[in-house]
Structure 1
Amino acid sequence: MAEVVNASADNFEVALKDSEQRSQQGSAILLLLFLADHDAALGRSWCPDCVRAEPVINKAIESSSRKGRTVRLLRVYVGDRPTWRSPSHPLRIDRRLQLKGVPTLIRWENGSIIGRLEDYEAHLENKIEELLS
């Protein structure tokens, strides 16, 4: 079964702590997915890589859930393009995350990264499956 929680840079720390606790209680795989915000004028995300990757990631998580794995997805929206492009963006300067681009998919366990897919590979189904196994 998959559980999805949405967060932003502003409430990331609280959402991460809660997700860590819930994942540990239920022995769930915890994934952090960093995405660009939706642009109302476009009717979708301003980031074409996010538009391409998100449905593939969701499909892989659903498939993994059907196989009996419990997955908790913390979906973190990084902001609009100018906000994300700032070198001082809080998620860019977070030493634990070292985010360089979106989308970024991270498998998180015991307070650290145990696997990650960067923006150029986050849409590859086989890579997502490897991250989940």
Structure 2
Amino acid sequence: MVVNNIAVDGYENLINRIKEHNIVEGGRHPQFVFFIGSKLPETGESWCPDCVKAEPVMNEALKDERLTTYSRIDFVTCYVGLRDYWKNPSNSFKTDERLKVSCIPTLLQLNSNNRCLNKDEDFTDAKIIVNFLVRGQ
């Protein structure tokens, strides 16, 4: 399996990536976006403590051998900005009808009626994430 793993910073870059690669409209492979808080320059870690905990679990899940049965998964890590931007109820991640991201971390499957994982406990065990990814095929 090939995990096409891309990182983008901010809403505009995510939307451009989706448009450039026709991710939402006719992708032949499962397509996921992992929304997390942007990293602080002084620490190199996200400002969001739940995201800091979730990131290594997500990385572990992406290495799981059960994913090798699929030819390809498109996986985008999207950094949603710093805390003040994220907390604004009118930020684009929250208002875009295609995304409707209400909390972070969130793992969203595009092209699937926006099936998602977004509870803190969803990101405590790589098996939960792998099961979500596998169901996306």
Tell me the TM-score normalized by structure 2: 0.81
Q: Which residue does 2:34 correspond to in 1?
A: 33
CA–CA separation in structure 2 for the residues paired with 1:51 and 1:125? 14
Alpha-carbon spacing, 1:56–1:101, altered in 2? closer, same or farther (3 Å): same
Q: Which residue does 1:97 correspond to in 2?
A: 99
Larger % of strand: which?
1
CA–CA separation in structure 1 for the residues paired with 2:118 and 2:35? 10
Q: Amino acid of the residue matched to residue 46 of structure 1?
A: W
In structure 2, runs of 5+ residues without a counterpart are none
Q: Amino acid of the residue matched to residue 82 of structure 2?
A: D
Q: Which residue does 1:77 correspond to in 2?
A: 79
CA–CA separation in structure 2 for the residues paired with 1:48 and 1:84? 14
Question: 8 Å contact 2:61–2:127 — kept in the other structure?
Answer: no
Taking every aligned residue pair, what percent have the same amino acid on both sides? 27
RMSD: 2.3
Count of aligned pairs: 129
Alpha-carbon spacing, 1:117–1:66, altered in 2? closer, same or farther (3 Å): closer
SS in 2 for 1:2: strand
In structure 1, runs of 5+ residues without a counterpart are none
> 4+ residue stretches of structure 1 with deviation over 4 A?
none
Q: Which residue does 1:11 correspond to in 2?
A: 13
CA shift for structure 1 position 98: 1.7
Q: Amino acid of the residue matched to residue 121 of structure 1?
A: E
SS in 2 for 1:105: strand
CA–CA separation in structure 2 for the residues paired with 1:19 and 1:38? 27
Q: Which residue does 2:57 correspond to in 1?
A: 56
The alignment status of 1:117 with 2:120, answered yes or no, reads: no
